[in-house]
Structures are given as structure tokens and as C-alpha cells.
Amino acid sequence: MTIGVFIDGGHGTTGLEIADRLDGRDDIALIVLDDAHRKDDAARRAALNDADFVILCLPDDASRDAVGMISSAKTRVIDASSAHRVADGWTYGFAELEADQQAVIAAAPRVTNPGCYPTGFLALVRPLVRAGLIPTSWPLSVNALSGYSGGGKAMIAEFEGGESPTRARAYGLDLAHKHIAEMRRHAGIDHLPIFQPGVADTYRGMIVEVPLPLHALPGKPTLAQVEAVLTDAYKGSPLVRIASGDVKFVRIEDDAGTDRLTLRVCGNDATGQARLIATLDNLGKGAAGAAVQNLNIMAGFDATVGLTL
């Protein structure tokens, strides 16, 4: 079976990464608009309605507009933007997050990719909330560092345009980042997490970290108990893995260039304090890898075709 796929925004950072992963596949026929037509609404409308699958790699407003242009009942959509992550009628495209999520994605007409930061946060936190180790009312926080390609073409130009603006900087200082609603909704928690993102002078890769005072949690779990819950939640997953054992460092480069998501439970049992740490590539499992995984699942292919494990 060959499916027709149109990447709207295919010349952007995420779109090019997705095209790269789909390149050479004989089960996929890419519908491509040339440079003169890629922002032409008539050409886009035709491509959006011709395709079996559309992958939106656009700014949020342009994504909403693109969805509004689709009238064909056969066209199924994967949106890489943050336009529909808490919207009604959309399926959250994080196959590993819940036991039945892959089956829900397989049948869905409209799938939204998770955000890159929420991918790390939710992978660490959701199984612990589900297991009752973290109460839904717990005030969580999340610290993270992203490569600058996370900001798309504009941020790449800023960092590569000559003198780099910085080696690393904190942002989201108003605690109103667009990912926090998504984090709360899909973790199943009551409060918005305090989200402390940063961007580093490296092209790709992410560290997403959740500090957890185990001693203050109702069940006072040990590090091993926390790790056991995560291990059980992701057993058999080809992309999400739990890394055990002592390490001196966790590096932003650890999963860069792959579509993996690695989770670690670090900390100190004597003080009852944990650091839950996820590493991933913002353009891998954080964007393009997740989009291709969702496409594979929706089209009935093996979930990891074209991905780097």
C-alpha cells in the first residue's frame, strides 16, 4: 500500500526533518509544492485535500488555517504545532503515554503531536500520577534545556547569524509558556507546573528534568520504587527506555540525532530527594520522529519505520 503524504510547512526545520525520515520509502508518495507555490493558498488547499495524510509543520495560526481548508473526508491530519494539543476533537499523539493510546491514534482522523518539552515531562510524570505515587494536587515543577533548533528558522538564524547571542539562557520567565496547559491536561494534574525552560548554544537535543521530594510524598517512595513504575510503564517500548545505573553526567547530546526518549531516576535515598531526567532530541521524539511514528501508526505500518532507535 502506498499513501499520499503532504507536509505543509515542508521547507521549515521540522518539515525538512520529517521529509528526511520519509525519503526513499516506497510505501509513501510525498506531495511536494515547489518554492513558488508552497505559500499559495489554492495550491495548498489542493494538496491538503488530495493527500491521505497531511503533516502540519506550521506556526499555530497557519495550522488552524490549514485545518480549515480541509474538506475531504479522506484526509487525516497530524499537527506538529501547538494549536490543537488541548483542543476538542483531537487525539494526543503520544503513543506510549497510556496503555491504549497507540490504538486510539491508529483510528484517529486528527492527531496532534505533543510538544517537545511536554514529551519529556509527561513521560516522567504521567505513570507516577497514574500509579498514585504523585497526588494529582502535587505542585510540580520542570526545568529544561533545549537546543536552539527548538525555536525554528528564526532562532537558528539568531544563533548562527554571526556571533552567537549566548551560550545558554533561561526564558519563559513570566511562567506563561504555551506548553504548560498541555502538561497539566495530559499529566492529569490539578495545577499548572512551574516551567523553567532554557536554550543552549547547541543545534539539537534536550534535557527535561522534574525535581521530586520523595520524603514529602504520601507514600515516601524510594528511587527504586519510582524507577520500577517507569520501567513497567514503558516495558516493550522500542523508543522509550529507562537507563539505570550511576552516571556522573547527563548530557544534552545523549539522544540528539535519534528518535529515542531516555528516562533516568537519579537522586539520593538518604535525603529522600529525586531528580527525574529525560533526554531526547527536540527534532526527534520531540517533533519529526513523533510525527513519523504517528503517521506509521495511523497508516497501519510498523510504528518505528524510518526512525533512529
Ligand X SMILES: CC(=O)N[C@@H](CCC(=O)OP(=O)(O)O)C(=O)O
Catalytic positions: 116
State the number of binding residues for ligand X (CB under 6 A): 11
Residue 63 binds ligand X (CB under 6 A): no
| 8 A C-beta contact, residue 30 and residue 5 | yes
Residue 199 binds ligand X (CB under 6 A): yes
Residue 152 binds ligand NDP (CB under 6 A): yes
HSE (CB half, 13 Å, CA atoms) of 172?
20
Cα angle, residue 58 at apex, residues 9 and 65 outer, rounded to 5° = 105
Q: Which residues pair with 141 in a beta bridge?
A: 194
Q: Which is nearer to ligand NDP, 81 or 91 (CB)?
A: 81
Residue 82 binds ligand X (CB under 6 A): yes
Q: How far is the CB of 145 from ligand X (least distance, A)?
A: 9
Residue 202 binds ligand X (CB under 6 A): no
Name 31's Cβ contacts closer than 8 Å, sequence gap at least 6.
4, 5, 6, 47, 50, 51
Name 146's Cβ contacts closer than 8 Å, sequence gap at least 6.
116, 117, 197, 198, 199, 200, 205, 206, 282
25 contact choice in ligand X, ligand NDP, none (CB below 5 to 8 Å, kind-dependent) = none
258 contact choice in ligand NDP, ligand X, none (CB below 5 to 8 Å, kind-dependent) = none
Taking CB under 6 A as the criterion, the residue among 29, 43, 46, 62 binding ligand NDP is: 62
Alpha-carbon distance of 252 to 204, in angstroms, equals 8
Q: Of 301, 293, 299, 298, which is closest to residue 238 (Cα–Cα)? A: 293
| 8 A C-beta contact, residue 102 and residue 95 | yes
| 8 A C-beta contact, residue 70 and residue 48 | yes
Site string for ligand NDP, 27-56 (x = CB under 6 A): -----------xx-----------------
The stretch among 5-13, 63-71, 149-157, 255-263 that binds ligand X (CB under 6 A) is: 149-157
Site for ligand X in 89-148 (CB under 6 A): 115-116, 146
Alpha-carbon distance of 299 to 25, in angstroms, equals 13
Q: In the block, which residue shows the cell 519510582? A: 226
197 contact choice in ligand NDP, ligand X, none (CB below 5 to 8 Å, kind-dependent) = ligand X
Residue 13 binds ligand X (CB under 6 A): no
58 contact choice in ligand NDP, ligand X, none (CB below 5 to 8 Å, kind-dependent) = ligand NDP
Alpha-carbon distance of 5 to 19, in angstroms, equals 10
59 contact choice in ligand NDP, ligand X, none (CB below 5 to 8 Å, kind-dependent) = ligand NDP
Binding site for ligand NDP (CB under 6 A): 9, 11-15, 38-39, 57-60, 62, 80-82, 115-116, 149-150, 152-153, 282-283, 286-287
Binding site for ligand X (CB under 6 A): 81-82, 115-116, 146, 150-151, 155, 178, 197, 199
